[in-house]
Every structure is written in structure tokens, then in C-alpha cells.
């Protein structure tokens, strides 16, 4: 059985980070007021937040592979690489169709080529042609993967299309669990990974965001069938990125649950105690990245499950 977590993480250091107007319509987590206040310092502060997170992860034993973004083309969201690529233990690399045109420019063949020198890449599944049809699937933002059981949970949205999900399933063998979700204001949740995190033996999920009672029950039952202990979070905690966590390993095999400080602060003492039974909680201060980018700690990490050469 494949491991759910890995000690190898790909991260992209930003060079022109900022509020992306092309993504704001479908991403309610972007804060336009904060963006206006921090416009002149967003890149500098985001790079500082990024560097501190990468440094601390490396210090505790995570193999963090940092690539610098390029100044051209303009890619304000390049700090979130998990949306354009996923890297699998089978040696498969999947490239994804992105809704925003300026996010499509984030795809970096040079990074894939560099990884192929260290890891075994058996095949590349390119789904980007769906962009021509206006159909999108934004990687492990759109899908939260149970890699151990090859099940993909997917919240349908303008960025997560059923046809692309079906093709991902056909190409990779993952079984799809689709559902719909909305935030406290009734706006569709743009990415699945802001409402749920799946680890080896537990799952953090905002069940109340799943609007249809039957779908909510289905998701709960699926997680229980996969033997995941469910830690339910509220809509308010989801809005603080408490669903945007990722379990990673140190090179010695220690389990870490990575999140932002804002997410950690939103958790109750009982939730922290529960999670602490499963992994060591680590959190990082990411206010500029979260407010301007509408994504948090999990979005900044693309897991490298590729086998070593």
C-alpha cells in the first residue's frame, strides 16, 4: 500500500507575489481590503513568510526542494504549485488545467525535467487541453487524495469539472467522491483542500460546508469506510484555513501536521488534543500569503511521491 505522506516537498519561492484579480471572483478567501493595504509590501512580506516556513520545515527534517519563481511571465500565485502538478508513487506526473489564464503560466517543464534527474518519471498525464473547453481541475486543490486507498474527494466548483475528474480517474485509477459545498455566505467553496485534509488514520473536514444532507452523509460514510477518524471543523474554522492542512513526514519518519498559525489558533483545545495524538502540530504565520492569495500552508506544498532513481 502506498504511503499517505512523504518527507519530500516541492515549494516555489515567489518573486512577484500579489493579489490575483483573475482568481478573486471564485475565491472568497482572498481579502481585497488587505490586498489594498499591503500592495506595496506583499511580495517582500510573502517571501519572508515563505522563507521562514521552508527554513523551519527543513530544520525539523523535511526534505524541502525550493525552486525560485521567474520574474517573467507574471505569475502572482506561483507560490501554490500543488494546483498545476501532482507527483505520484507510480512515477506518474499529472499536469492540470487551470481556470485563470495567468495561473496556466505557472507550469514549469524545467522543474519536471529537474525532478526527473533525481526521481523516476514513468509517464506524464497532461490534462491541460481541457482549458480549451473551459473545463478545469486544479490539482490537489480541487482534489484531496487518499493515496493509500486511491480515492479522490472532490468538491465540484467552477475550478473542478466532472469531466476532468473522470479523465483523471481513468488515467490514474483513483475512485472519485464528488460533492458540493458552500461557505457561511452560501458561496461555492472554490477548492476541496480548504475544507478537508486526509491523513493516514484521520481526516479533518468541515462537514457543515457540504450543503446536501445526502452528500454530507456520503462523505462521512466514505471516510469511515476508509477507517479515518473524523475531526469535524466549523464553517468559521474553515474560513480561518483550518481545513487547509497537510500531513508530511520528516526524513526519520516522524509525522507532522502542517498548517498556518491562523488555522491553529482557530482550533479548540479538544481538537488540538485529538490531532496531537496523530501527529506533531507545526504552524507558520502566513497572513500576507493567506489574505492576498486566498490559500494557506497546504497550498504551498506539492508532495513529491515519485520513487527515487
Residue whose cell numbers read 518573486? 15
Q: Give the CA count within 13 Å in the CB-facing half-sphere of 169.
A: 15
CB within 8 A of 286, min separation 6: which ones? 49, 53, 260, 261, 262, 296, 297, 300
- Quick: pLDDT tens for 206-233: 999 999 999 999 999 999 999 999 999 9
Q: What are the Cα distances from residue 288, in Å, to 19, 46, 217?
A: 10, 6, 36
Is residue 16 within 8 Å of 71, Cβ to Cβ?
yes
Cell numbers of 155, please?
468538491
Strands 63-68 and 8-13 come out as parallel
Name the stretches of the chain with pLDDT < 50.
none
pTM of the model: 0.96
DSSP 181: B
Per-residue model confidence (pLDDT) at position 35 = 65
DSSP 209: G
Per-residue model confidence (pLDDT) at position 32 = 72
Per-residue model confidence (pLDDT) at position 18 = 82
Closest CA to 31 of 40, 41, 20: 20
Per-residue model confidence (pLDDT) at position 45 = 93
Per-residue model confidence (pLDDT) at position 30 = 67
Burial of residue 126 (CB within 10 Å: 0-12, 13-18, 19+) is middle
Amino acid at each position: 500500500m502506498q504511503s499517505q505522506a512523504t518527507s519530500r516537498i516541492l515549494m516555489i519561492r515567489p518573486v512577484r507575489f500579489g493579489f490575483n484579480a483573475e482568481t478573486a471572483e471564485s475565491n472568497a478567501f482572498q481579502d481585497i481590503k488587505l490586498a489594498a493595504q499591503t500592495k506595496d509590501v506583499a511580495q517582500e512580506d510573502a517571501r519572508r513568510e515563505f522563507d521562514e516556513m521552508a527554513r523551519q520545515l527543513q530544520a525539523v527534517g523535511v526534505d524541502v526542494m525550493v525552486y525560485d519563481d521567474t520574474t517573467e511571465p507574471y505569475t502572482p500565485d506561483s507560490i501554490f504549485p500543488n494546483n498545476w502538478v501532482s507527483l505520484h508513487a507510480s512515477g506518474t506526473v499529472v499536469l492540470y488545467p487551470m481556470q485563470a489564464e495567468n495561473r496556466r503560466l505557472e507550469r514549469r517543464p524545467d522543474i519536471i525535467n529537474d525532478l526527473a534527474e533525481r526521481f523516476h518519471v514513468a509517464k506524464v498525464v497532461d490534462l491541460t487541453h481541457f482549458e480549451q473547453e473551459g473545463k478545469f481541475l486544479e490539482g490537489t486543490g480541487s482534489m484531496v487524495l487518499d493515496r493509500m486507498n486511491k480515492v479522490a474527494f472532490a468538491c465540484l466548483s467552477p475550478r473542478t469539472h466532472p469531466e476532468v475528474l473522470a479523465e483523471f480517474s481513468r488515467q490514474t485509477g483513483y475512485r472519485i467522491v464528488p460533492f458540493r459545498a458552500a461557505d457561511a455566505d452560501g458561496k461555492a467553496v472554490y477548492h476541496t483542500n480548504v475544507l478537508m485534509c486526509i491523513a493516514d488514520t484521520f481526516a479533518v473536514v468541515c462537514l457543515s460546508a457540504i450543503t446536501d444532507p445526502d452528500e454530507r452523509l456520503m462523505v462521512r460514510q466514505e471516510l469511515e469506510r476508509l477507517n479515518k477518524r473524523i475531526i469535524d471543523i466549523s464553517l468559521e474554522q474553515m474560513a480561518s484555513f483550518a481545513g487547509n492542512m497537510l500531513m508530511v513526514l520528516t526524513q526519520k519518519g516522524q509525522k507532522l501536521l502542517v498548517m498556518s498559525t491562523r488555522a491553529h489558533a482557530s482550533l479548540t483545545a479538544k481538537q488540538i488534543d485529538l490531532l496531537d495524538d496523530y501527529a506533531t502540530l507545526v504552524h507558520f504565520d502566513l497572513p500576507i500569503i493567506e489574505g492576498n492569495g486566498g490559500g494557506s500552508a497546504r497550498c504551498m506544498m506539492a508532495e513529491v511521491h515519485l520513487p527515487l532513481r
